[in-house]
Chain A
């Protein structure tokens, strides 16, 4: 099984990540639309419910700004997460693996995984005085992923350097 280049696992993962990012994006737009226009939204006893079209599922929670902000932040994070992940896989499916593009996208992936979860965790903990174990477990996992991506970005930097040297060996 080919991991890199055309018709490889990277190509498949690129399309999956991109489709997931688009899916999250559409869902985010739907939620914003439902909140702004009051459609698909029902409120009772300080709780809200957003009906998801074509399914029997609902999104529900306390009718507070904190809940709406948390939901929007969650979807914004995962739209950017899967979009940048698709960019990373896009560079993996290229003919030349070690490229400056790959380093750039891995750096974005590092920033997203380190910066946003810390920001989200801090907001939940300090401002909203809330959060449960699952929230902080996800934050912790993303930070680990960010650190790992940082190492891969550094390895890619060395890879680019070695490739340049190899190309200039006559």
Chain B
């Protein structure tokens, strides 16, 4: 009762302080920093610009300011020498508890005020794609949770050191670490969460979950640290250790601290958001798994049940094998590392299985021993919260599973068979997915999905067929438009929230011009059904990809902000062109897997063609400025790089550093050096027309079924040039 009275008194006192007013007012205003100065969310979606950035910046500023307020308030008693009087009536431990609670309440009031103030502003700025749910979640998570973290860390530092100056330095360093060195580690950046984008058209629950997880982990950890610092509060004239020894006599106190710390360590180490994929993105150990002998896969089925509320998925899959070896065989699947596998049966009997600890490209390897029977039906259940690739941990949000949006890729959809060859029918598969009524299922590729059952619980089951071991499906509240260009049918899917923006921007016309160019210069696509292409607007992704019969377009390319910005260069709106061009240059059957040091990949010709289209659309100056000049600069930088010039120093570095540097260099070689070489080849063969003819010839060349890939040598031969001719130096 006394504590409650004290809490009330202390809260009144705190809220009467002018400094508290100042901190509250500045914190409420601080989201404006995210509109002007500090923009961690790089995506050009409206929610990224007008909700994520202001909320994160507000969190950063208010977290720091509330930390300072905590130091100021905790030091106040000592500063004004009133501590002797207070501690004669109340124990320092009780008072510290009351003070931290009042600071938390002040933070809560600040958050409420900030949300009230910024609601109309955000709504006005964002326009038709404003999402109330996103707003109501983003501010508490991005901004609100930063304040208790600031308070706890600063208060803990003060309670340990009992010095305002040292506390301020420790707190500044702790904040600086988050803002600089830890900024790219999604679990460590407590002040400025790794949120690179919020989707306008679809939901954002996955990234919210990730930030909440990070913030709660820190909250628990800092609560633990604060509790220990609380136990170190100086009492009875004792020093730090003496006071600690006195305080821990009530055993529940250190127990609480230890539980909190242990829990935070477990939460940190056992985070469920991202996997442990090999950071070496050139490693392909799963591709090297030896194929089984005398075993073929004759087909498979999968039934998938996403839980849109929990963001999880459960599924059941059945594979059919013909085992001609007369022996047990080990078959391998790639599976999302977040899933648990159970009930693995072969012909109805349990069989042993093992999920590897090693992970690569967002997959773990599931190894199952199948019996020596001639016909084997292997069934299994799997499910859980899908994890994302650790190497993309700063760009989380892609495995969104909600009532508004879903993207299930390969092993996240169903276990992907790795090491069993198919029979002559390849891998015929029937996939069924049960989704809420409002969602439309779009298989990425040539397949079409149909509704096969409607259920009373507001769901319906979609079914589609495919013929491969992997696959991607999208589902969401989509609008479908059909565009016909030169006998080429394009099914254009985009989010229903975006209808007005798409229409006003004339996105359909932009698509037409790209297809026009490619068909005119290179010809029709030689794959897919009846020259049909699906264009799917994805949730903000930071790029896109293309596969047989389908191409993905990032929603960020269509935001009102992006479409109205004429100054944007090759990194924004033209991603759409880039991804469309991949339909011509860059599908799986066009280029072999590229190696880390290799120049030649799907990207070279794609980037070059994108440049040509952009040149045609926006003029030579624009293309020169945003393409050629950019490539040249990146390539110059590459050749001048210290480690490129002195590889012996690179070799001496720790492995992770080597990898970081090598990855960056590979990107430059494929995306910048190769297009420049093609541009040089263009000049050497007699100009754009001559190059177009050569590329047309390469695109329509007769394929070698044993090695259908287009090689660098083929390109050089077609140009009549040698590698040396294209040296840029």
Q: Do A and B bind each other?
A: no
Which A residues lie at the B interface, using CB under 8 A? Answer: none
Which B residues lie at the A interface, using CB under 8 A? Answer: none
